[in-house]
Amino acid sequence: MGVLGPCSSNRCVKKPRLIGLATVLVVLVLQGSSLALEGKSPEAEGKPTANRTTTAEAHLELGVSYHERMFADLDQAIAEYEQAVKLRGDFAEAHYHLALSYHTKAKLRDDDKVLYRKALKEYKLYLKYLPKGPLTEKTRQNIKVVESRLR
């Protein structure tokens, strides 16, 4: 299985189509909700019912968009955390969140060992700089999980 990414399926989403489908979905949902609150059916009001296929496609497109954004946001988060620890090497919380981001990305990339090693290093730095911090127990649990992935 290859690396998951924004266009890992056979479909790459075009933003204008996504916005159009998202708008349709919102209108249909709001229309149905307002009629339901009034106790009326769309047919009784002479309004078209939501096309299930169109609504399903809109949900699909939104899901793909959020999925794509997750990858971009995760990479941006990693870049920001890396800058934080570069500026202040003893910033335990930044080390923890950098580790968590590497850990998440490693899982998304079919157990990427390089990213797991980076996560392990950052988790250990959190413990070094804040051994009795609020995230200590969670960090120790995550270290065990990452170590098991590296075996």
pLDDT at 23: 58
CA dihedral 60, 61, 63, 65 (to 10 degrees): 170
Return the domain boundaries, the chain.
8-68, 88-151
pLDDT at 133: 97
Provide the residue-wise pLDDT of the chain in tens; the chain has 151 residues: 333 333 433 344 444 444 555 555 555 555 544 444 455 555 555 555 567 887 888 888 888 788 778 878 899 999 999 999 999 999 999 999 999 999 999 998 888 999 999 999 999 999 999 999 999 999 999 999 999 999 9
Side chain identity at residue 31, one-letter code:
Q
What fold, for 88-151?
Methane Monooxygenase Hydroxylase; Chain G, domain 1 (1.20.58)
Cβ count near 73 (within 10 Å): 12
Place of tokens 């690396």: 3
pLDDT at 2: 35
